[in-house]
Amino acid sequence: MKKIVTVIGARPQFIKAAPVSKALIEAGIEEVLVHSGQHYDANMSDVFWQELGIPEVKYHLQVGSGTHAQQTSQIMVKFEKILLDEESHVDAVLVYGDTNTTLGVALVASKLNIPIIHVEAGLRSFNREMPEEINRILTDNISEYLFCSSEVSIAQLKKENIQGKAFKVGDVMYDAFLLFSEMSQDKPSNKISEDPFSIFTLHRQSNTKDANQVSRIIRQLEAVPHKVLWPIHPRIAQWKDDLEIPSNVELIEPIGYLEMLQALQECKFVFTDSGGLQKEAYWARKQCFTLRDDTEWVETLEGGWNTLIKLNSETIADKISNEPSTPWKPLYGDGQAAYKIAEILK
């Protein structure tokens, strides 16, 4: 039996792991699951095991928060010991996306000559000031198997002359979206408003350096003509009393994945700086306004389904009246990406 060590550590990776782990098991591949602890708050981590049926974690690195160097180096030291301690042979190491967990784990596997599987390869925002961009580029360059969400990602890997084997399989988050959307309707959340509302999330380091910067961003939500629900990130919650929060913005605790899917079905707009939520908004056929100068999910911009808000030169008020100019169309596969990945690896 082939043996893969999978490492996850952040909210989007937990979601991606749910369908992939299931598909690997069904394909007869042994998976050893490792949690880096990059996201450790119960509302950002534990709830996903309770909701999504992710297999039990065998190792927990418990790296917690810290600078990029602290997180990445701790992950590398602790993960190397796990790979060296595993009694039986490891055929490959699987990583998702673009976090410090992704890069730290990939570097360790590369040094030990263990093949790396990168799910969600080939994405580029072309903004190297984003830590995630550096993580993506480096991980792609040392990976053996590169699983891509779209033809754009395949083309980018070819352009960069990346040497690994690239496959267009679609997006495993779409697998999860389809799999759990119906389930989310069976568990109504008391955090979701019955009145018209939009969803707002904020977490990127570039947008959350201090309370003043967060206040500048959230003041723009005054332009939204209805309630805005804000599941506040634990890192920002420490400044809650110092923020200038508009009267139409309602702070709530971080919500689980099923609650977020329910909110996406019922909301009017999505305002976010999250990569994953841009896609989920699109799949829910809701207009998204992305609080960044760029996005790695360039396909969502077509027709105005997703709109960038460049914070130094534009505002939500400038953009909110614009409606999509093209019909919705499927993006990022058919919801079977996880099974395609498992079959290729098998």
Strands 145-148 and 165-168, bridge-based pairing = parallel
Among 35, 39, 118, 203, the one annotated catalytic: 203
Supply 41's token pair: 């708050």
Distances, alpha carbon 195 to alpha carbons 236, 314, 343, in Å: 26, 28, 45
d(CA 268, CA 263): 9
Contact 229/250 with Cβ under 8 angstroms?
Answer: yes
Residue 272's DSSP bridge partners are 290
Give me the sign of the Cα torsion angle 54, 59, 63, 64: positive
Residue for token pair 């969600």: 120
Phi and psi torsions of 85, nearest 5° = -85, -20
Helix or strand run (H / E) with residue 287 = strand 287-290
Burial 278-312, CB ≥16 within 10 A → b, else e = bbbbbbbebbbbbbbbebbbbbbbeeebbbbbebe
d(CA 115, CA 105): 11
Residues 6+ apart with CB under 8 A from 205: 131
Q: Which of 107, 104, 108, 143 is nearest to 123 (CA)?
A: 143
Q: Known catalytic residue: 118? A: no
Catalytic residues: 203
